[in-house]
């Protein structure tokens, strides 16, 4: 058998040169991150051994260290034939101290709590569970990783441009000189990467390599002289920006403050003063000479157009801007179904991590399917299926830890209760001891309430949604009278008579269980009851008594009795949940239910789809609080609003939306073949009341994901803008099969900014695509 040839070792002088080059690269990248001489960065660059945990039997030592680029972690495998693995810090969602993951809780003992930590990745990638040799070392790893990830996320335009004072000879050439490490007036691949960092350009590696090869006419592996200028021109050339800038650059080829004010007011429809213009030039102009003369160059203009405040989402709406003092049922509430599931509902894993992810996305209503477990500990899983189980106690602890990281507003715990009285008592004890004073166990204020408290009054609080043994009023009587003592499931509450459910219902009737008084008493504002029609609900239902509707029943009501449903939801809460036949955890459109005023429209957060994109878009605004105030006409008990018939009323504010799809930048490949290049097309979709639903699409551009250009105009009629959503979707055109998803962005119609705007793009998981974008022109006019 032939021996495997070892790599030739470097001579001492070559080793010194390699080390010097490595240190220079590290210093450059540390400077960009604002972490020069930082001890946490040095710790990660040095690296160390950690115990990697996959199960109670699989625990192996691996060496982890940060690579020279300061954004890739390297892991050494001890297996001879196994390639060493890496992961990008861009892919990290969070780093958590302790045994917080399901894997660590199951596979380790409590005594190693302080030595454990987990790296949580974006999307569906599995956690990386690790154990350090000491508590101090674990803290060092967690703090260092969190700091580096935070610095990478906060690396703003202003921060980068402030680090590099551009001077004579033009700022671009100043950057080129800095990036040319060995001062040979040539640029290698790695030096070009440094250059792109310095000019604050986030370029996909594939596109950078493609442009490099295109410019390297001599095929030397280096760019020099005119090749470098050509590279920069190709990289930054945006004909559409040239035209817009040229229109307003009236002062010796530059924009003066007056020119800039003119652009902002005429094109962007923004109020702007000379002081605002001076501030923009001071902040975004990279050329020192131009800045000194109070002028904005084309490079500065491009930088400004990419800042968050200049993009398509109204930045005022990113913050909390709505009245949060209305009753709870006057809001749409971000809600999750089967929250414990990571995948499908037949055999997928259940995990506390699923609760963490939903809560961090701003979800305010989570579901817990509770069943009797061993050792008197209730468990959560999808009953009568092969989904894995988690402890109820662990889920409540995870919820307590992450409930208010994204939003301060109340979280509703929707209990699907299948437990015996004994284990219901355990549930009540766990919620009481873990959630403490944050758990609402009695009405706010004195006496029997007549309406819901507001999200503002309930900040930092938990509400229980479940069956209750008696009316809330009974708790104010001298002797609390007990009523119905049987628990119901969500399916029974929906009161549907589907044929295929009859057997299941008969089975559940046999197994009806008593309800524990301790658990019943915790249900204050969200008591589950059967729905027997709008008239019966109006006459006999108290404000705090709410029904759950399966999607089919809810959709039928929203179509056939829309105004009655809207009026019902002015006074009561409604929860909608997906049909049981959705075993793959697919979703339904939440839009028709929002149109009917339903507040708790629960979706499978673990499933990436257009319905979840729209849900994310709906709750993108108002500080990502998870609460969106319904329009005034959906909060009036006598409202005539009907989303289907659209009779005249305050809701009719007929607008014409004009959208020009201009261009896109650096679209990602949709498959891993090196030769694969996308053929992008753009769809503009409007969601809302039926009269507003519409979709228009551009032609496909062949083989160009770097800078495709369309310049196609679309027009939409929008009658009820308060309820409308706009989605920009980019697909890779395929003439023989379905188009493939490239990226999308969804936002409320009323949060659109007018003028020339960049649209950020999100991937299937709802995470930002860092270097990709869409460029559009938007105009909203009152229809004649």
Extract the annotated binding site for Ca(2+). 338, 367, 369, 416, 677, 679, 703, 732, 734
| Residue 664: closest CA among 683, 686, 650 | 683
Query: Is the predicted pLDDT of residue 197 greater than 90, yes or no?
Result: no
Q: Which of 652, 712, 637 is nearest to 688 (CA)?
A: 652
**What is the torsional sign of CA 565, 568, 571, 573?**
negative
Query: 771: domain CATH number?
Result: 2.60.40.150
Q: Quote the number of domains for the chain.
A: 4
Domain that holds residue 392: 329-445+453-467+486-634
CB 52 within 8 A of CB 67: no
Cβ neighbours of 267 (radius 10 Å): 16
Residue 737 lies in a domain: yes
Does some domain include residue 1?
A: no
DSSP string for 297-353: -HHHHHHHHTSGGGSSB-HHHHS--S---S-GGGEEEEEESSTTBSS-TTTPPB-HH
Of residues 162 and 316, more confidently modeled: 316
Q: Which of 153, 179, 197 is the last residue of a domain?
A: 153
Structure tokens at 179: 């990036």
CATH of the domain at 389: 3.20.20.190
Q: How many CB atoms lie within 10 A of CB 513?
A: 18
Q: What is the DSSP string of 402-465?
A: HTTSS--S-EEEEEEE---HHHHHHHHHHHHHHHGGGB--S-SSSS--SSPPPTTTTTT-EEEE
pLDDT at 350 over 80: yes
In-domain check, residue 3: no
Q: Is residue 320 very low, low, confident or very high in pLDDT (cuts 50, 70, 90)? A: very high
Nearest residue to 319 (alpha-carbon basis) of 618, 616, 622: 622
Q: Final residue of a domain: which of 153, 180, 206?
A: 153
**% the chain with pLDDT above 90:** 61
Same domain, 291 and 390: no
Claim to verify: residue 289 and residue 306 sit in the same structural domain: yes
Question: Which residue among the candidates 317, 382, 430, 758 is catalytic per the annotation?
Answer: 382
The last residue of a domain, from among 240, 275, 310 = 310
Whether residue 594 is found in the same domain as residue 574: yes
Same domain, 581 and 439: yes
Would you say residue 643 lies in a domain?
no
Helix-strand-coil split of the chain, %, nearest 5: 35, 20, 40
658 is catalytic: no
CATH number at residue 102: 2.30.29.30
Instruction: Please confirm, yes or no, whether 733 is among the known catalytic residues.
Output: no
CATH code: domain of residue 170: 1.10.238.10
Q: Contact 711/722 with Cβ under 8 angstroms? A: no
The residue behind tokens 């993108």 is 620
Residues 148 and 206 in one domain: no
Burial bucket for residue 540 (CB in 10 Å: 0-12, 13-18, 19+):
exposed
Both 428 and 344 in a single domain?
Answer: yes
* Token representation of residue 629: 């105030």
pTM here is: 0.82
Alpha carbon distance 357, 379 (integer Å): 20
pLDDT band, residue 206 (cuts 50/70/90): confident
Lowest-confidence segment of 213-217, 284-288, 608-612 by average pLDDT: 213-217
Read off the pLDDT of residues 677-717 as tens digits, 9 standing for 90 and up: 789 999 999 999 999 999 999 999 988 887 899 999 999 99
- DSSP assignment letter at 5: P
Q: Does residue 91 form part of some domain?
A: yes
As a whole number of angstroms, the distance between CA 577 and CA 335 comes to 9
Is the per-residue pLDDT at 89 higher than 90? no
In a domain, 7, yes or no: no
Tokens matching residue 8: 């030739």
Backbone torsions φ then ψ of 540, nearest 5 degrees: -115, -15
Distances (CA, A) of 212 to 68, 188, 189: 22, 9, 8
**Statement to judge: residues 128 and 163 lie in one domain:** no
Assess whether pLDDT exceeds 60 at residue 157.
Answer: no
569 and 694, same domain (yes or no) = no
Classify each residue of 145-162 as buried b or exposed e, where b means 16 or more C-beta atoms within 10 Å of its C-beta: bbbbbebbeebebeebbe
Instruction: Tell whether 198 and 281 lie within a shared domain.
Output: yes
317, 330, 337, 777: the catalytic one is 337
- Decide which of 181 and 106 is more confident: 106
Do 303 and 391 fall into the same domain?
no
In this structure, is residue 472 part of a structural domain? no
541 shares a domain with 437: yes
Are residue 290 and residue 342 in the same domain, yes or no? no
Q: Is residue 339 part of a domain?
A: yes
- 408-435 residue pLDDT tens: 999 999 999 999 999 999 999 999 999 9
Question: Which residue ranges make up the annotated binding site for substrate?
Answer: 52-79, 465, 467, 548, 575
Measured from the Cβ of residue 89, the count of other Cβ atoms closer than 10 Å reads 20
């Amino acid at each position: 058998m032939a021996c495997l040839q070892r790599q030739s070792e470097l001579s001492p002088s070559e080793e010194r040169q390699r080390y010097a080059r490595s240190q220079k690269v590290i210093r450059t990248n540390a400077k960009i991150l604002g972490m020069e001489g930082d001890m946490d960065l040095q710790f990660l660059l040095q690296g160390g051994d950690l115990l990697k945990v996959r199960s109670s039997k699989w625990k192996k030592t691996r060496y982890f260290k940060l690579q020279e680029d300061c954004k890739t972690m390297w892991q050494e495998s001890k297996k001879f034939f196994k390639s060493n693995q890496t992961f990008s810090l861009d892919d990290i969602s969070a780093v958590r101290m302790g045994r917080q993951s399901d894997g660590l809780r199951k596979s380790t003992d409590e005594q190693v709590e302080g030595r454990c930590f987990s790296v949580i990745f974006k999307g569906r990638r599995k956690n990386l569970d690790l154990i350090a040799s000491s508590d101090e070392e674990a803290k060092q790893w967690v703090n260092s990783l969190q700091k580096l990830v935070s610095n990478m996320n906060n690396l703003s335009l202003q921060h980068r441009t402030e680090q590099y004072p551009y001077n004579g000879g033009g700022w671009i050439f100043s950057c080129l000189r800095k990036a040319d490490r060995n001062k040979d007036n040539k640029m290698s691949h790695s030096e070009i990467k440094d250059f792109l960092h310095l000019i604050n350009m986030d370029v996909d590696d594939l596109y950078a390599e493609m442009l490099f090869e295109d410019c390297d006419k001599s095929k030397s592996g280096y760019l020099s002289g005119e090749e470098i200028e050509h590279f920069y021109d190709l990289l930054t050339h945006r004909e559409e920006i040239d035209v817009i800038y040229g229109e307003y650059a009236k002062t010796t080829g530059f924009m003066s403050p007056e020119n800039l004010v003119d652009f902002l007011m005429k094109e962007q429809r923004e109020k702007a003063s000379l002081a605002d213009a001076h501030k923009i030039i001071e902040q975004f102009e990279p050329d020192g000479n131009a800045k000194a003369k109070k002028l904005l160059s084309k490079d500065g203009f491009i930088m400004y157009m990419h800042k968050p405040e200049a993009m398509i989402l109204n930045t005022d709406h990113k913050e909390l801007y709505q009245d949060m003092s209305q009753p709870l049922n006057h809001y749409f509430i971000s809600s999750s179904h089967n929250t414990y599931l990571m995948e499908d509902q037949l055999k997928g894993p259940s995990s506390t991590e699923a609760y963490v992810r939903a809560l961090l996305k701003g979800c305010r209503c989570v579901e817990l399917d509770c069943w009797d477990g061993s050792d008197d500990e209730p468990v959560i899983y999808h009953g009568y299926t092969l989904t894995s189980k988690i402890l109820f106690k662990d889920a409540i602890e995870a919820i307590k830890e992450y409930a208010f990281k994204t939003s301060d507003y109340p979280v509703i715990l929707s209990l699907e209760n299948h437990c015996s009285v004994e284990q219901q008592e355990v549930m009540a004890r766990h919620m009481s001891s873990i959630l403490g004073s944050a758990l609402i166990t009695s009405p706010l204020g004195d006496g029997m309430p007549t309406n819901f408290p507001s999200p503002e009054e309930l900040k930092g609080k938990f509400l229980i949604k479940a069956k209750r043994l008696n009316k809330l009023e009974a708790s104010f009587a001298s002797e609390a009278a007990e009523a119905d003592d049987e628990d119901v499931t969500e399916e029974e509450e929906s009161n549907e008579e589907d044929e295929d459910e009859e057997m299941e219902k008969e089975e559940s009737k046999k197994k009806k269980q008593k309800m524990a008084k301790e658990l019943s008493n915790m249900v204050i504002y969200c008591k589950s009851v059967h729905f027997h029609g709008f008239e019966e609900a109006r006459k006999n239902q108290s404000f705090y008594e709410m029904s759950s509707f399966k999607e089919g029943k809810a959709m039928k009501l929203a179509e056939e009795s829309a105004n009655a449903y809207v009026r019902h939801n002015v006074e009561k809460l409604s929860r909608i949940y997906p049909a049981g036949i959705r075993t793959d955890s697919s979703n339904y459109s939440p839009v028709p239910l929002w149109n009917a005023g339903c507040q708790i429209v629960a979706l499978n957060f673990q499933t990436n789809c257009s319905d979840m994109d729209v849900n994310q878009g709906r709750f993108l605004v108002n500080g990502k609080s998870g609460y969106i105030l319904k329009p005034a006409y959906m909060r009036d008990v006598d409202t005539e609003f009907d989303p289907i018939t659209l009779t005249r009323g305050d809701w009719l504010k007929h607008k014409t939306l004009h959208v020009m799809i201009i261009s896109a930048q650096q679209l990602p490949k949709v498959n891993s073949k090196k030769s694969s290049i996308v053929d992008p097309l753009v769809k503009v979709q409007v969601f809302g009341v039926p009269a507003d639903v519409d979709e228009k699409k551009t032609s496909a551009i062949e083989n160009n994901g770097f800078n495709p250009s369309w310049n196609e105009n679309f027009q939409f009629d929008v009658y009820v803008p308060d309820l409308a959503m706009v989605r920009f979707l980019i697909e890779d055109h395929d003439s023989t099969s379905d188009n493939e998803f490239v990226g999308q962005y969804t936002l409320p119609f009323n949060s659109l900014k007018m003028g020339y705007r960049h649209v950020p793009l999100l991937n299937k998981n709802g995470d930002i695509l860092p270097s990709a974008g869409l460029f559009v022109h938007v105009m909203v006019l009152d229809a004649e």
